[in-house]
Structure 1
Amino acid sequence: QYFPGIPVKEVHAAIDAAYDEYEHHMTQVRAKGAEIIARARAEHRHIIVLAGRPYHVDPEVNHGIDKLIIRQGAAVVTEDSVSCYEE
């Protein structure tokens, strides 16, 4: 009803493709987070999880806090990269 002129089958295919791509993206985010965490642990560095809204990646909003933390020697990961852990 919301997409007149587009067959329902195509809408469902687009939805499935979007969910597949999202899952692929999240797999990459988690893998990169695990890589950063493993390297930080091996180097005995602190690990900081920066949590916030997606727009916080905008330098005008976050004021470079991630870069400031990195310059202080800590590793920075996002909440998306660690949200899969159950510990």
Structure 2
Amino acid sequence: MTDRHTVNTITSDALDALYEQLEAAEDTESQRQLRIADAAFASATVRAAQLGAQLAEARRLHAQTCPLAQGQLRPPAFTCSMCDALTAPALETP
């Protein structure tokens, strides 16, 4: 075990060395967190693309079967909650 410095015993050089060690440890932790964030972003990007494709397929299939989507019926006499859900602004893809 190494001796621990106190305020009264630490030298300027030893304090500088401790600050360098701290900076290196902080850099290492920042790099680790950045790698984790990059991996999470990549995963979320892939998942968003998959969900976008699934949404497009759901829209396509619904358009083939819904009389409202095909223009055969018109609101307010006929409404389709699926059409509403599939065209909600929150679901729009850029």
Q: For CA contacts below 8 A with separation 6 or more, give which structure has more relative contact order.
A: 1
TM range (shorter): 0.3 to 0.5
More strand per residue: 1
More helix per residue: 2
With the length of structure 2 as denominator, give the TM-score of the two structures: 0.43
* Rg (Cα) greater in structure: 2
